[in-house]
A and B are shown apart, each in its own frame.
Chain A
Amino acid sequence: MISVVDVRKVFNAGKANEYIALDGVQLDIEKGRITVIKGPSGSGKTTLLSVIGCMARPSSGRIRLSGVSVEGIPDDEGYVETTSLPERFLTQIRRKTFGFIFQQYNLVAGMTVIENVMLPAYPTGEAYSAVRNRAEDLLKIFGLYSRLDAKVQWLSGGESQRVSIVRALINNPSGIIADEPTAHLDTKLSSEFMNIIESLNREGRTIIIASHDPVVCESSVIHRVVEMRDGKVIR
């Protein structure tokens, strides 16, 4: 469960180009469900995702996550408040809690598939061999095992998308955050993506997707659509 209470995010505060990306967002996201955040570009979807995903701190308001435990961070009745944590601790929570899938697949060119997949695990201090085994298993599941040592720039769009999903799963997070994941995929690949999302959800993962693609928003697998406009949740 993620609870977002009266969250504001202001860029360039106090300057002429001040920009309010989130304006008092109030939202509860249920655990183990697929939630889609819908809205035009500039509505604050991405900012909301990054604030929920512990990538950025809100200017004010509170965000509480349940089911998170990080050494040295107090929890309050099973909730951890992430709002005033420094980056060092936010990152620790983020690594354990969320896997990220981006619009551009954001793979590191010049590195192989397996290296890209293992990247998020490097700073966790887990033994290399353990991570490698897990990465190979995941690549098998996603039909990418034969492409293990291929450089990522030689992959097709669908393969790149799947590599980025595997990368999001490498630290075995309880939640997946996807930002416009189908923007560069055709209809067939987009529905394939939704099938993958469904299977990840069936494993018990909470999934939050920001998208305005009808294939996503009108998909039968999703549980809830939240609409945003001008930094506010309208529905």
Chain B
Amino acid sequence: MNSRIEIQRNILDFTLSSLLRRKTKNAVLMVVFTIVVFMLASIIFFTNAVKREAVAVLQNSPDIVVQRLSAGRHDLIPADYIKTITDMKGVVSVKGRHWGYYFEPAASANFTLVVPDDGGEEGRIVAGKGVSRTMRAGDGDILPLKSYKGEWVVLSIKGVLKSDSELVSSDLIEISEKDFRKIFGIPKDRFTDLSVTVRNPKETLTIAKKIKDSFPDTRPILRSEVLRTYDSLFNWRSGLLLIIAAGAVLAFIIFAFDRASGLSAEERREIGILKAIGWETSDVIAFKFWEGLVISLSSFMAGIILAYFHVFVAYAPLFEPVLKGWAVLYPEFRLVPFIDPFQIATLFFLTVLPYTAATIIPSWRSAVVDPDQIMRSQ
């Protein structure tokens, strides 16, 4: 048993020295491999992180959001709907919500204005980091917003939001209900939408049906539905990107296969010598196995580390053009680093596995040369 470990150690030793002897050739292969892993890993890390952000945000969203539709478009919802829905069995509470988008021409940015649950403090706001950054306004500064009539509403910033997930809170302004109505000219008995809290999650669907029955002009949206939609959207998108990247993987595999089968005369001679001086086919196969393992694992590791920096430290600069059309994302958003074994396993399957499979037959073929070949071929 010990001698078998010793054999593998010796062969690994030889493998490393052989890899070093052919630095350039192996470096090219490893660089290409690393780039492929880097690309796929960036896609997977990025989509997973964005998905997680989205899910984290949605976790706090209400069980059911009730919107009113008018002519197929989202419309303000009358306050008297609240009473009827609150009276439904299984409903814990119903709240009217105010939120909207405000376009700031000076910064050409869109802010999201939200009225907090406690109604807010008149004349004062809490701003998201992105708002604070683009308007160059911090704690205690003044931020004037133009109302729908063209009048200025002067608001003072009482704090800047701190949040892990800048993706969500970056463009946020928490504003009082009164100021909100003043800016957008919304009547007192209208809300943007309603949030419904349900006692038993299993009844959510039934309650949503009841709401729809009572108010045919409404659209109840379940949290689970939103989550699901996001999930499949992100899965689909990362899958799609991977399919596009599959071309690159395929090209790499063909490249690796070609490399493995087209041994140079020198390598061929070397394996011939090994066979002649007493290496057995399985020893040469073991040598080729270690060679593949060293190449693929180090490239795999390097690709993953690079992708980690790319996505979580540099915020995916290579994806920016793609992202702009992806969703309403904001410059300088910060993704919370998140990698799980599942992503690594998936990446391993997509890169190392096909590489290994592509090199099995070529490395076997190089290992079965006749031991007496170097005597015959002189």
Q: In the complex, what distance in Å separates the CA atom of A128 from the CA atom of B276?
A: 21
Contact with A along B1-37 (1 / 0, CB 8 A): 0111011011101100100010000000000000000
Given A102-B374, A104-B378, A122-B14, the answer on whether A94 and B278 have CB atoms closer than 8 Å is yes
Residues of B within 8 A of A53 (CB): 372
**Partner-binding segment picked from A22-30, A107-115, A134-142, A211-219:** A107-115
B274 beta carbon closer than 8 Å to chain A = yes
Whether B371 pairs with A50 at a CB distance below 8 angstroms is yes
Q: Taking the nearest CB of chain A, how far is it from the CB of B369, in angstroms?
A: 11
Query: Which one of B17, B272, B280, B374 lies within 8 Å of A91 (CB-CB)?
Result: B280
Q: Which residues 109-160 of A have a CB within 8 angstroms of B?
A: 109-111, 115, 119-128
Nearest to A131 among chain B residues (CB) is B10
Given A119-B274, A124-B7, the answer on whether A46 and B372 have CB atoms closer than 8 Å is yes
Nearest to A11 among chain B residues (CB) is B376
Q: In the complex, what distance in Å separates the CA atom of A127 from the CA atom of B9?
A: 10
Whether A103 pairs with B378 at a CB distance below 8 angstroms is yes
Whether B371 pairs with A125 at a CB distance below 8 angstroms is no
B279 beta carbon closer than 8 Å to chain A = yes
Q: Taking the nearest CB of chain B, how far is it from the CB of A65, in angstroms?
A: 16
Q: In the complex, what distance in Å separates the CA atom of A49 from the CA atom of B378?
A: 15
Residues of A within 8 A of B9 (CB): 128
Q: In the complex, what distance in Å separates the CA atom of A124 from the CA atom of B278?
A: 9
Residues of B within 8 A of A121 (CB): 10
Residues of B within 8 A of A33 (CB): none
Q: Taking the nearest CB of chain A, how far is it from the CB of B45, in angstroms?
A: 39
Q: In the complex, what distance in Å separates the CA atom of A175 from the CA atom of B162?
A: 81
Whether B278 pairs with A125 at a CB distance below 8 angstroms is no
A88 beta carbon closer than 8 Å to chain B = yes
Q: In the complex, what distance in Å separates the CA atom of A102 from the CA atom of B269?
A: 13
B345 beta carbon closer than 8 Å to chain A = no
Q: Which residues 344-378 of B have a CB within 8 angstroms of A?
A: 370-372, 374-376, 378
Q: Taking the nearest CB of chain A, how far is it from the CB of B191, in angstroms?
A: 78
A232 beta carbon closer than 8 Å to chain B = no
Whether B17 pairs with A111 at a CB distance below 8 angstroms is yes
Residues of B in contact (CB 8 Å), total 32
Residue of B4, B283, B372 with most chain A CB atoms under a 10 A cut-off: B372
Q: Taking the nearest CB of chain A, how far is it from the CB of B197, in angstroms?
A: 70
Query: Which one of B17, B282, B371 lies within 8 Å of A88 (CB-CB)?
Result: B282
Nearest to A125 among chain B residues (CB) is B3
Residues of B within 8 A of A167 (CB): 277
B266 beta carbon closer than 8 Å to chain A = yes
Q: Taking the nearest CB of chain A, how far is it from the CB of B7, in angstroms?
A: 4
Whether B21 pairs with A122 at a CB distance below 8 angstroms is no
Whether A91 pairs with B278 at a CB distance below 8 angstroms is yes
Q: Taking the nearest CB of chain B, how far is it from the CB of A115, in angstroms?
A: 7
Whether A110 pairs with B276 at a CB distance below 8 angstroms is no
Query: Which one of A46, A115, A123, A126 lies within 8 Å of B375 (CB-CB)?
Result: A46
A171 beta carbon closer than 8 Å to chain B = yes
Q: Taking the nearest CB of chain A, how far is it from the CB of B316, in angstroms?
A: 42
Nearest to B266 among chain A residues (CB) is A109
Nearest to B14 among chain A residues (CB) is A122
Residues of A within 8 A of B164 (CB): none
B281 beta carbon closer than 8 Å to chain A = yes
Contact with B along A154-184 (1 / 0, CB 8 A): 0000000000000110010000000110000
Whether B277 pairs with A119 at a CB distance below 8 angstroms is yes
Nearest to B279 among chain A residues (CB) is A123
Q: In the complex, what distance in Å separates the CA atom of A123 from the CA atom of B9?
A: 10
A189 beta carbon closer than 8 Å to chain B = no
B270 beta carbon closer than 8 Å to chain A = yes
Q: In the complex, what distance in Å separates the CA atom of A119 from the CA atom of B273?
A: 10
Q: In the complex, what distance in Å separates the CA atom of A180 from the CA atom of B270?
A: 20
Q: In the complex, what distance in Å separates the CA atom of A110 from the CA atom of B282?
A: 24
Whether B279 pairs with A122 at a CB distance below 8 angstroms is yes
A84 beta carbon closer than 8 Å to chain B = no
Residues of A within 8 A of B14 (CB): 119, 122
Q: In the complex, what distance in Å separates the CA atom of A92 from the CA atom of B282?
A: 12
Q: In the complex, what distance in Å separates the CA atom of A94 from the CA atom of B11?
A: 19
Nearest to A167 among chain B residues (CB) is B277
Q: Taking the nearest CB of chain B, how far is it from the CB of A126, in angstroms?
A: 7
Residue of A47, A55, A167 with most chain B CB atoms under a 10 A cut-off: A55
Given A88-B282, A126-B6, the answer on whether A100 and B11 have CB atoms closer than 8 Å is no
Residues of B within 8 A of A49 (CB): 375
User: Can you list 25 residue pairs at the A/B interface with Cβ under 8 Å?
Assistant: A49-B375, A50-B376, A55-B375, A91-B278, A91-B279, A92-B280, A95-B278, A102-B374, A102-B375, A104-B378, A107-B273, A111-B17, A115-B17, A119-B273, A121-B10, A122-B7, A122-B10, A122-B14, A123-B10, A123-B278, A125-B7, A128-B10, A168-B277, A171-B278, A179-B375
Residue numbers of A with Cβ under 8 A of B are: 46-47, 49-50, 53, 55-56, 87-88, 91-92, 94-95, 100, 102-104, 106-111, 115, 119-128, 167-168, 171, 179-180
Residue numbers of B with Cβ under 8 A of A are: 2-4, 6-7, 9-11, 13-14, 17, 21, 266, 270, 272-274, 276-283, 370-372, 374-376, 378
Known: A119-B273, A128-B13. 18 other contacts (CB 8 A): A55-B276, A55-B371, A56-B372, A88-B280, A94-B278, A102-B375, A104-B374, A106-B272, A108-B273, A111-B17, A119-B277, A119-B279, A122-B7, A123-B10, A123-B283, A127-B6, A171-B278, A179-B375
